[in-house]
Amino acid sequence: MASDGEDGLDIDLDRFHDALESEERPLATASQVARRLETTQSAARDALDALVARGSVDRVDVETDPVVYYPTEWGKLARRERIVTFPNRREVVVDRPTQFTRARLSEFAHLVDTTRTDPGTRGYLYRIRREDVWAAPFEDAASLIARVRSTLGRRHEGLEGWIEDQWRRAHRFRLYTHPDGYVVLEAASESLLGNVADQHLDADHLRAPISETEAWVNEDAIAGIKRALYDADYPVVDDRELETGDPVDMTLTTELRDYQQGWVDAFMENGSGVYVGPPGSGKTVAALATITAVGGETLILVPSRELAGQWREELTTHTTIDPADIGEYHGGQKEIRPVTIATYQTAGMDAHRGLFDSRKWGLICYDEAHHITAPVFARSAELQAKHRLGLSATPVRETGNEEEIYTLIGPPIGADWDALFEAGFVAEPEVEIRYVPWRDEMARNAYVSSDGRERRRLAAENPAKIEEVRELLADHPGKKALVFVDYLDQGAAIAGALGVPFISGETPHMERRRLFERFRRNAGEGSKADGTSSGNTTPAAPLDTLVVSRVADEGIDLPNAEVAIVASGLGGSRRQGSQRAGRTMRPSGSALVYVLATRGSSEEDFAGRQMRHLARKGIRVRETTLSE
């Protein structure tokens, strides 16, 4: 606290620290402090001498220079939040940021990395990308620039100029519904429509010109128009007046956390978006709140039938919807209701496309939204809807096309993983990479004499991993454990050694469902329909351990999983690594993830790549090398 008055300027230690940080030096003269605090040199000198008298600041008289002042306790300065901006690289480094600062940065910047230290002490690297500016939740460029300036603490003219330019680019094209009912593409100028649109849009995208800045749009090509203009660095503002279809009669019965309510509010303000957060952060419940807020006919797209059944359970558990208003449309059954759950593959098939096209969807929800860029699922992006919502723990695909996800669905909305860990909403997992040696000489020789894909498979199936899995499970008796594999032979071998079931894509749907239900159940719980053996009314015993292939990577809700062991699959994507670690991320309890990598093989590099991705999200990773 400082005030000017008859007694001069009163400077506390915090204001002195602010002056030092503004000077970007560990010490300062009275004239430098005066300039930073906008006062006279004599007033600053008197105030600094008062701090010296209190013991908070030291001073030193230098023979050839003025008196300089510095904090007595350097540690307090080191523990302060510091924001350092690199405007030419458009990067911001923040030491010990508050959640308030992180929330503000997330409005216009992308969290790239965090240091691997204890919560509350991490350093954060943010990058301001064009898509972050395009999706920034502000009414105009002036409001965005004001937020950037207040967050970074000073003006950076070059950076601000670039941000203003990107904001203008994001508002140069607009889609809107003409009073006569057809869709129009509007450009900010004649040259934009004539040059950019003509150069980047196909002949069948536009039907005919309407004016020098407007053209009649082929409604079947709207997704292609958006994608083409986005690739040309001109994202399209979609202001079409779309219908919401049949009303959905439901209310949410579960109270939202503050950040979930923030997601929903941001979505309703923007009209579209992708909820990005770790498993256990409540994306599904936030999606149910969004369905309620939109209030129109809803299509939920999922990658598997297991997830379709899971969504039905979530709807009936957390809302007042009449079960008769929920339909499932996939290989097992085909019903269209006010809320319809379908698989991506079914919705994109020609045989069913006409039915989905004919509906007036108020909302399409894309679960595991990264699927939308895969060619086999891309056609689902062309279905018309007033609102689009995506859900993803990590929208990264190895092709690096997460921007396309945001183009086809909407901008990212969500809290960073680290914030949820620190707030206690999600338990931060402990991740350990364990480098397993070859203990079988024949297996080692087979690996050495092979190459390419065969060599990767042999490293993944290192027989020593079976014993390591057994020992890890013995170290955690009674805990619910998932063992992940990529190879069927290895999965069968581990399951046989442990005497537990193995679930793969070859496991019949109903059997998968029964096994997952047994895993969810704890000892002493009553029987459930899906937990009984076929033809037997005796409840099947709960399962503590399952060996699973990729069928459990995405979305399958196994809320009581406490231990995850990745026995193979290190050649997979960063997204897969996040999902497997994420199977143990829950609101409470310890979470343990063990990644087994064969020592001296390419698995070491793959493990490092996947775990660096997790470390950037604030998850602590340690490494252990096992003895021969």
Q: What's the CATH number where 63 sits? A: 1.10.10.10
CATH number of the structural domain spanning residue 576: 3.40.50.300
How far apart CA 126 and CA 146 sit, in angstroms, is 18
Establish if 458 belongs to a structural domain: yes
Domain tally for the chain? 5
Establish if 239 belongs to a structural domain: no
How many other CB atoms sit within 10 Å of the CB of residue 341?
A: 26
Range of the domain at 316: 258-421
Q: Do 300 and 399 belong together in one domain? A: yes
Residue-level pLDDT at 255: 92
Establish if 246 belongs to a structural domain: no
Domain boundary, last residue among 421, 449, 484: 421
How far apart CA 554 and CA 577 sit, in angstroms, is 11
How many other CB atoms sit within 10 Å of the CB of residue 433?
A: 22
Residue-level pLDDT at 98: 73
Q: How far is CA 31 from each of CA 5, 41, 42, 69, rounded to the nearest angstrom?
A: 19, 5, 8, 11
H or E stretch including 418? helix 417-423
Q: Do 341 and 441 belong together in one domain? A: no
Q: Do 467 and 506 belong together in one domain? A: yes
Establish if 311 belongs to a structural domain: yes
Establish if 250 belongs to a structural domain: no
Q: Do 370 and 448 belong together in one domain? A: no
Q: Do 228 and 300 belong together in one domain? A: no
Residue-level pLDDT at 373: 63
Distance of CA 356 to the CA centre of its chain: 29
Question: Can you give the C-alpha Rg of the chain in angstroms?
Answer: 29
Establish if 120 belongs to a structural domain: yes
pLDDT along the chain (628 residues), means of 10: 46 78 73 83 86 82 66 61 88 80 80 58 79 81 92 91 92 89 90 84 87 88 81 82 79 90 87 80 92 93 85 94 92 85 81 74 87 61 80 55 68 67 62 89 90 88 94 91 89 94 83 84 52 48 85 55 80 43 45 85 77 64 83
Strands 563-566 and 592-598 come out as parallel
Q: Do 211 and 302 belong together in one domain? A: no
Residue-level pLDDT at 397: 38
Query: Is residue 147 classed exposed, middle or buried when 0-12, 13-18 and 19+ CB atoms within 10 A define those classes?
Result: middle
Establish if 247 belongs to a structural domain: no
Residue-level pLDDT at 343: 86
Q: Do 560 and 612 belong together in one domain? A: yes
Q: Do 591 and 543 belong together in one domain? A: yes
Q: What is the DSSP string of 83-109?
A: EEEETTTTEEEEES--HHHHHHHTTT-
Residue 30, phi then psi, degrees to nearest 5: -60, -35
Q: Do 108 and 60 belong together in one domain? A: no
Q: Do 433 and 415 belong together in one domain? A: no
Establish if 251 belongs to a structural domain: no
Residue-level pLDDT at 293: 93
3-state secondary structure of 402: helix
Nearest to 336 by CA among 345, 324, 328, 344: 328
Residue-level pLDDT at 166: 92
Domain boundary, last residue among 166, 185, 204: 166
Quick one: angle between helices 603-616 and 574-582, nearest 10? Answer: 70
Residue-level pLDDT at 487: 87
Q: Do 33 and 88 belong together in one domain? A: no
Domain boundary, last residue among 379, 406, 421: 421
Torsion angle (degrees, nearest 10) of CA 204, 210, 212, 218: -20
How many other CB atoms sit within 10 Å of the CB of residue 317?
A: 11
Q: Do 184 and 65 belong together in one domain? A: no
